[in-house]
Amino acid sequence: MTDGPIYHMSSTPIPDPGAPLRDSLVRQSRVLEAARAIVSVFDAYQAQFRLVTRRAEARFLRRDWQGGQQDAAERLTLYRQFVSWCVQDLRRSLGDATGDVALWSVLRQAYAREAMTRLDVELAYTFFNSVVRQVLKASGPEAGVYFDDREFQRLPPPFSSQVLRRYPGGRSLEALLRELLGDLPFGAAYAGRDEDAALIARRIAEELARGPGGAALEAIEIVPTPFYRNKGAYLVGRLVMGERTLPLVLPMVHDERGLRVDAVLSTADDVSVVFSFTRSYFHVELDCPRAMVDFLRSLMPRKPLDELYTSLGYHKHGKTELVRALLRHMEAHDARFEVAEGDKGLVMAVFALPTLNVVFKIIKDRFGPPKQTTRQQVMDKYNLVFVRDRVGRLADAQEFEGLAFARDSFAPELLEELRADCANTVLTDGDRVFLRHLYTERRVIPLNLYLRQVDELHAVEAVLDYGQAIKDLAAANIFTGDMLLKNFGVTRHGRVIFYDYDELCLLTECNFREIPAARNDDDEYSAEPWFSVGEHDVFPEEFRAFLTLPGRPGQAFMASHGDLLTVEYWRRMQQLAEKGEVVDIFPYRPSRRLR
């Protein structure tokens, strides 16, 4: 059907009683066509996402770790690519009508009807929202154009029951585990499975003996496909003892000695660390992400929904869930944004809600001395962290554009600060505040504050982990740049992580140097260095200024991590990084390992 202009031979138009009906049918069919076009691009996106995800199994079997890292990076680029293809497509087919807000509101309803019964409907809604955002950029968020909280709430519960495979008890635990491990997609490559079954059975029996007596193991339920990440494959499931269940995660490794289960994790805390916001996203093929997220939440009740989606690689939908949680939280608690606790940054203005574990970071218009970086460079650093392995030590930052809140959601002194330091990004209009760009991160306790609050024992533990964090990052070819305590934080699980990225760079980009000996007294006492310093020069001796900590914690730190002050240490790590070997720092304690 064409809908071009109709030319009449006569100058007086001939009345056509069917015209309004025909026009509306034309419009309807265009809307339906457009809705289906978006669905099909979303389908193509999901197909490509699966294709890349599916490669993980073969990479793990071949120990092709570099290939795995390429896949991870490739998968992160897909979303933006497909959204932009979709927008181009629509612009071609809808022409001038593309920017018509009224059209999008009908389109959304048509799309909802098309997507409603999908197993991944929530992701499909988020995809639509991304497309609308691109298309209606100039118009801003219009009511009725996006899928909002109400629409997500209205979704029926997921109906896929295929999340878990059940291995009933009533036999020896070892026999059960032999069957379970035998069903894994590793075939002959997994020669040691009987030995593993025996070791795991012993561990689980110990764990069960520790729990309340009486309850026998009824079954082990497990997600049939492993969750892949870096050099690990994780079997995720639970132990079922009647009403009671315990999480069960079996991390697997594959090295020169072969393929094997490396550890047994059976507490919510242990599992939560595996699914941490400081790790790269898993590669696991799913039909129904919602059903999987529901299951994961039953294992880790404290983990926010958005982080679970994100951990599975659905970080865009993770953002949807984060905003939903944020808005609901603000309403329920009548909460207001306030300046974040801790030392203020030179680059970022940081704020938070007192009762939600999220911080909001806005790049300031200008950076105080001695910072010489630009806004674009800061964004590049945050992107670098986004695409790289975060090795359990870097907080994942999600990027948002164009968020709007009521003015009274901001404490007055915060709004004052934002308007003074971030006027290019924070716009106020009547009683609305528009934030053009920001990052969100999980809120942790800044290490400088933490050390003031805790007793000596905890302080020693924290500073040792602080040194270990710097070393873990170095092993992954990352140099934090700014090592001050205030740029590190402590998670709920007591792990020390880093969150200030504007000076972060690859270890292999740095030039680690000794400070040259002074030639004379003038050199020694001059305020300026007496030797020339290149842009990438780093002098580990200078770290003494901030790695020297008072008291017992300081002594403990120097005893374990004094090598951080030496050029040899950094050059050695640099050489390792240059070899291009992929390092994986496993997310569990040595005591959980089987061997």
Ligand X SMILES: Nc1ncnc2c1ncn2[C@@H]1O[C@H](COP(=O)(O)OP(=O)(O)O)[C@@H](O)[C@H]1O
User: Where does this chain bind Mg ion (CB under 5 A)?
Assistant: 345, 487, 500
User: Is residue 521 packed enough to be buried (19+ CB in 10 Å), middle (13-18) or exposed (0-12)?
Assistant: exposed
Asked if the peptide bond before residue 251 counts as cis, ω within 30 degrees of 0, the response is no
Among the candidate windows 151-159, 224-232, 498-506, 541-549, which touches ligand X by CB under 6 A?
498-506
CB-nearer residue toward ligand X: 305 or 395? 395
Task: Answer whether 216's CB lies under 8 Å from 169's CB.
Answer: yes
343 part of the interface to ligand X, by CB under 6 A: yes
Nearest approach, Cβ of 366 to ligand X (angstroms)? 12
Among 71, 221, 307, 441, binds ligand X (CB under 6 A): 441
Question: Which strand (E) or helix (H) includes residue 405?
Answer: strand 398-406
347 part of the interface to ligand X, by CB under 6 A: yes
Residue 343 interacts with, from ligand X, Mg ion, none (CB under 5-8 Å by kind): ligand X
Nearest approach, Cβ of 114 to Mg ion (angstroms)? 46
Residue 340 interacts with, from Mg ion, ligand X, none (CB under 5-8 Å by kind): ligand X
Residue 587 interacts with, from Mg ion, ligand X, none (CB under 5-8 Å by kind): none
Angle of helix 65-94 relative to helix 121-135, nearest 10 degrees, comes to: 60
Handedness of CA 438, 441, 443, 449 (dihedral sign): negative
CB-nearer residue toward ligand X: 465 or 584? 465
- For 129, 280, 370, 383, 475, the CA distances from 504, given in Å and listed in that order, are 33, 18, 16, 11, 14
340 part of the interface to ligand X, by CB under 6 A: yes
359 part of the interface to ligand X, by CB under 6 A: yes
CB-nearer residue toward ligand X: 94 or 349? 349
Q: Does 522 qualify as catalytic in the annotation?
A: no
Residue 348 interacts with, from Mg ion, ligand X, none (CB under 5-8 Å by kind): ligand X
| 2, two tokens | 């064409």
Nearest approach, Cβ of 272 to ligand X (angstroms)? 17
> What is the distance between the alpha carbons of residues 173 and 155, in angstroms, rounded to a whole number?
39
> What is the distance between the alpha carbons of residues 341 and 24, in angstroms, rounded to a whole number?
57
Among 232, 304, 392, 489, binds ligand X (CB under 6 A): 489
444 part of the interface to ligand X, by CB under 6 A: yes
Of 291, 293, 288, residue with least CA distance to 309 = 293
Task: Answer whether 478's CB lies under 8 Å from 503's CB.
Answer: no
Nearest approach, Cβ of 422 to ligand X (angstroms)? 12
345 part of the interface to ligand X, by CB under 6 A: yes
Residue 306 interacts with, from ligand X, Mg ion, none (CB under 5-8 Å by kind): none
> What is the distance between the alpha carbons of residues 546 and 544, in angstroms, rounded to a whole number?
5
Q: What count of other Cβ atoms lies within 10 Å of the Cβ of residue 374?
A: 12
> What is the distance between the alpha carbons of residues 100 and 118, in angstroms, rounded to a whole number?
27
CB-nearer residue toward ligand X: 347 or 474? 347
Among 288, 350, 353, 460, binds ligand X (CB under 6 A): 350
Residue nearest to ligand X (CB): 345
Angle of helix 315-333 relative to helix 121-135, nearest 10 degrees, comes to: 90
487 part of the interface to ligand X, by CB under 6 A: yes
Among the candidate windows 95-103, 301-309, 335-343, 564-572, which touches ligand X by CB under 6 A?
335-343
Of 73, 78, 77, 75, residue with least CA distance to 389 = 73
Nearest approach, Cβ of 277 to ligand X (angstroms)? 10
Among the candidate windows 123-131, 245-253, 261-269, 338-346, which touches ligand X by CB under 6 A?
338-346
Q: Which residue in 270, 306, 389, 396 is the catalytic one?
A: 396
Residue nearest to Mg ion (CB): 500
User: Is residue 530 packed enough to be buried (19+ CB in 10 Å), middle (13-18) or exposed (0-12)?
Assistant: middle
Residue 350 interacts with, from ligand X, Mg ion, none (CB under 5-8 Å by kind): ligand X
User: Is residue 239 packed enough to be buried (19+ CB in 10 Å), middle (13-18) or exposed (0-12)?
Assistant: buried
Task: Answer whether 21's CB lies under 8 Å from 85's CB.
Answer: no
Among the candidate windows 25-33, 56-64, 225-233, 436-444, which touches ligand X by CB under 6 A?
436-444
Among 395, 463, 470, 496, binds ligand X (CB under 6 A): 395
Nearest approach, Cβ of 349 to ligand X (angstroms)? 8
523 part of the interface to ligand X, by CB under 6 A: no
Nearest approach, Cβ of 348 to ligand X (angstroms)? 4
For the chain, how many residues are written? 595
342 part of the interface to ligand X, by CB under 6 A: yes
465 part of the interface to ligand X, by CB under 6 A: no
446 part of the interface to ligand X, by CB under 6 A: yes
Nearest approach, Cβ of 289 to ligand X (angstroms)? 26
> What is the distance between the alpha carbons of residues 420 and 414, in angstroms, rounded to a whole number?
10
> What is the distance between the alpha carbons of residues 86 and 530, in angstroms, rounded to a whole number?
58
Among the candidate windows 123-131, 224-232, 299-307, 484-492, which touches ligand X by CB under 6 A?
484-492
Number of chain residues interacting with ligand X (CB under 6 A): 20
> What is the distance between the alpha carbons of residues 411 and 427, in angstroms, rounded to a whole number?
15
Nearest approach, Cβ of 363 to ligand X (angstroms)? 9
Task: Answer whether 257's CB lies under 8 Å from 288's CB.
Answer: no
443 part of the interface to ligand X, by CB under 6 A: yes
- For 484, 512, 540, the CA distances from 568, given in Å and listed in that order, are 21, 9, 9
State which amino acid sits at residue 289. P
Among 500, 540, 573, 574, binds ligand X (CB under 6 A): 500
Of 23, 25, 17, residue with least CA distance to 5 = 23
Among the candidate windows 117-125, 328-336, 482-490, 508-516, which touches ligand X by CB under 6 A?
482-490
Nearest approach, Cβ of 137 to Mg ion (angstroms)? 32
Residue with tokens 């403990």: 556
Residue with tokens 């497990």: 222
> What is the distance between the alpha carbons of residues 421 and 409, in angstroms, rounded to a whole number?
18
362 part of the interface to ligand X, by CB under 6 A: no
Site for ligand X in 192-221 (CB under 6 A): none
Among the candidate windows 58-66, 170-178, 286-294, 437-445, which touches ligand X by CB under 6 A?
437-445
Residues that bind ligand X (CB under 6 A): 340, 342-343, 345-348, 350, 359, 395, 441, 443-444, 446, 486-487, 489, 499-500, 502
Residue numbers annotated as active site? 396
